Chains A and B, each alone.
Chain A
Amino acid sequence: MEFFLISMLNSLSYGLLLFMLSSGLTIIFSMMGVLNFAHASFYMIGAYFAYQISVWLGFWPALVIAPLLVAAVGMAVERYGLRTVHKYGHVAELLFTFGLAYLIEEAVHLVWGRSSVPYVVPPSLDGAAFTLYSTDYPIYRVFMMAVSVSMLIGIYLTLTRSRIGLVIQAALTHPQSVETLGHNVPRVFMLVFGGGSALAGLAGVIGGNAFITEPGMAAAVGPIVFVVVVVGGMGSLVGAFLASLLLGVLQTFSVALDYSFADLFAKFGYTVDPDTPLAVLWNLTISQTGPVLPYLLMVLMLIFRPKGIMGSREG
């Protein structure tokens, strides 16, 4: 029971972090149709900005300033890069963001070096929040969950209740009408791209010190973010939320399952020994295949339900 509850909490916090990461990507995709390959790079620069600011001003200012800076970078990228490339179609946009990811990684190498930086959890958030049976649950993980959930509520309210949200939604479906009403549609797109990047940046601020801040972090989370978006349904925020939680549970619990095909065969009275054909494969446990499972899920999803869990666009 203790193991189940702790693992549930672990998967919840991991899933929520994944959601923070992928929500920006899915918003940008649903609103602008741009599949942003550099999204994970914004996560990375969020972490690096937060590290740099926390060295100068402390963690709390970093929590606010770093995502804003990332938003500024994102808006600049949209204004001076994507907007120009846009007229050549989606393939050009895709290639542009693909190249951008490499540029950002090299820039990080130049500024902060190739090694990891000592970005750590602030002392006020270091320690145990509560003890469940005999396992401590860290404050920082609770904090991660709180930030993520409040972010979800924030996005939802902005998109459905605020004026700017209404303009954004309208600009998606009827850009010309919105333009005739006197709104600046390109600027709306710029804001959306900046906002989406800021969400990734925020995930970086939170995730960078929970795990590790190094130049490879973008490449490490990049693929998994796409899995979330594909499994959740391209462009669906709710889908991304569900998919993130699902992947969190999948990755956390797969670690615990030491079952293999050999165990299954044993149930039917057949033992696998080293001479059995494909013995290596049969002895592979679920916990060892854990890292591959999300991608397996993505491939199966694309085959059997290509539109994902929530397969329609928002709005």
Chain B
Amino acid sequence: MFHFKRTAEAMVLVSALFAGSAYAETLKIAYIDPLSGAFAGVGDAGLKQFQFVADDINKRNLTGGPKLEVIGFDNKVSPKESLNVLKKVIDQGIRVITQGNGSSVAGVLIDAVNKHNERNPDKSILFLNYAAVDPDFTNSKCSFWHFRFDANSDMKMEAMTDFMAKDKSIKSVYLINQDYSFGQAVTRAAKEYLARKRPDIKIVGDDLHPIGKVKDFAPYVAKIKASNADVVISGNWGADASLLIKAAKDAGLSTPFYTYYFGGLGSMTAMGDAGVGKVKQITEFHSNIKPNKTEKFANAFNAKYGGPPNHLTFYYLRVNNEMYMLARAIKETKSIDPKKIALKLEGMKFESDTGEVEMRATDHQLIQPLYISTVAEAYRDPKNPKTAKFKGTDPDVKYDVEDSGLGFKTDARIEGYVTAQPTSCQMKRP
């Protein structure tokens, strides 16, 4: 009897050891984004990209041991649902989360993570944000546990308005954005920066529409048309971007669009040839930047996911930056403890495919180069039969997006230090 008990104890001990080592071997990352509903397309594309990078990291053992595993959780872009998801994630013992779609979601996640970490310092959660760009997150609401790998809305607007200010033909601007924290931030920054840089530019329209609810943008397009604006500025993303540009195309609207995300999923297909030369975006990457060090990686991703039904194209270089920097932090600390990783990420300089990027220690905002680019027809190379369906004559536009025959051509590269802005963040460190 005595022996049996000893054996049982030993077995429990051994299994606990195994459980411990299994945990150490895999770092699970919860991807909390829409996997159903109107924005599911965007969420699904992001998840595939995260998993693709994780595979690459595991194959090359960039963490020096632990494997990375990205698990998708559907939050339906709802802040309330995201809190439920976060509870589930915590219950499953996952300590690193990543999210991007919707600053409304990121806002509640930051608050919830802060609270959780205060109460459970030994089970703290790390939040890696790859796309929620409300400037507050690295200013008044900044948190030690939150790291942002995308340039925030104000940084992008600063760069975009710098570019616009040089174009003397722009006399009037129309703003159309989603009615929530991010869209409001875009509107506010556009007005403020244009007033500073080009006080002669008039704001002839300022629309905030409900996010993800508008199916028919024709009334908004009629309004843009009636305003005779020279340029439209929009921070819309996902279905709100593709439906807006589709309505503009249907109405034959010829006004140029300055956008944050119209190169994203579905929009290029929706705009078709009507977007050529008219639609601009500001991003950290597109497939025709020069030099393009991501080319091989992007081609591998496109070969895997570029087919029907979704015709995905590699889009988020920032996801690569996030994951590679995470892997390096794990390797250098030899730990998967969120707090140690966070301390390592602070101030980390990393040689990204577009040049050196830095995770600013004061506010956890990644400082990285940005590109402004315009939609162009992809180049038809007489020597390459694969490009036979393309119509463009500019060799710089080598790749198209989502099999649309359209790609991007760089207008300007903005260096990281130019995009950097002062921060009001007063970070509390544990």
Query: Which residues on A are within 8 Å of B, measured CB to CB?
Result: 2-3, 6-7, 10-11, 14, 109, 113-118, 128, 131, 134-138, 140-141, 210-212, 214-216, 220, 251-253, 255-256, 258, 287-288, 291
Contact = CB atoms under 8 A, between A and B. Distances in A.
Interface residues of B, number: 33
B219 A10 contact: yes
Given A115-B44, A138-B250, A251-B219, 8 more contacts: A3-B222, A3-B223, A11-B219, A114-B36, A135-B253, A214-B38, A215-B37, A256-B223
B213 interface: yes
With a 10 A CB-CB cut-off, give which of B216, B223, B309 has the most chain A CB atoms.
B216
A211 B243 contact: yes
Contacts of A131: 252
A252 B223 CA distance: 10
B222 A6 contact: yes
A291 B213 contact: yes
17 contacts: A6-B222, A6-B225, A10-B219, A14-B218, A109-B36, A116-B239, A134-B225, A135-B222, A135-B251, A215-B37, A252-B218, A252-B219, A255-B207, A255-B219, A255-B223, A256-B219, A291-B213
Contacts of A10: 216, 218-219, 222
Contacts of B225: 2-3, 6, 134-135
A114 B213 contact: no
B179 interface: yes
Nearest to A109: B36
A148 to B, nearest CB: 15
A83 B239 CA distance: 40
B74 interface: yes
Interface in B208-227: 208-210, 213, 215-216, 218-220, 222-223, 225-226
Contacts of B215: 211-212, 220
Contact of B309 (A118, A128, A136): A118
With a 10 A CB-CB cut-off, give which of B179, B222, B239 has the most chain A CB atoms.
B222
Contacts of B251: 6, 135-138
With a 10 A CB-CB cut-off, give which of B38, B226, B251 has the most chain A CB atoms.
B251
Interface of B: 35-38, 40-41, 44, 74, 179, 206-210, 213, 215-216, 218-220, 222-223, 225-226, 239, 243, 250-253, 269, 309-310
Nearest to A11: B219
Contacts of A212: 38, 215, 239, 243
A220 B213 contact: yes
Contacts of A215: 36-37
A118 B225 CA distance: 28
Contacts, number: 96
A273 to B, nearest CB: 17
A6 B41 CA distance: 31
Contacts of B35: 114-115
A294 to B, nearest CB: 12
A256 B224 CA distance: 10
Nearest to B45: A115
A7 B222 contact: yes
A287 B216 CA distance: 14
With a 10 A CB-CB cut-off, give which of A14, A109, A118 has the most chain B CB atoms.
A118
Contacts of B226: 2-3, 256
Given A114-B74, A115-B40, A220-B213, A135 B220 contact: no
With a 10 A CB-CB cut-off, give which of B37, B215, B218 has the most chain A CB atoms.
B218
A7 B247 CA distance: 13
B222 A216 contact: no
A291 B219 CA distance: 13
Contacts of B179: 288
3 pairs of A and B residues whose beta carbons are closest in the complex = A136-B252, A114-B36, A3-B226
A134 B225 CA distance: 9
Contacts of A220: 213, 215
B260 to A, nearest CB: 20
B248 to A, nearest CB: 10
Nearest to A1: B226
A7 B220 CA distance: 9
A149 to B, nearest CB: 19
Contacts of A136: 250-252
Contacts of B252: 128, 131, 134-136
B254 to A, nearest CB: 9
Contact of B216 (A6, A211, A214, A258): A211
Nearest to B208: A288
A117 B243 CA distance: 14
A7 B210 CA distance: 20
B74 A116 contact: no
Contacts of A14: 216, 218
A227 B217 CA distance: 21
Nearest to B215: A211
A140 B220 CA distance: 18
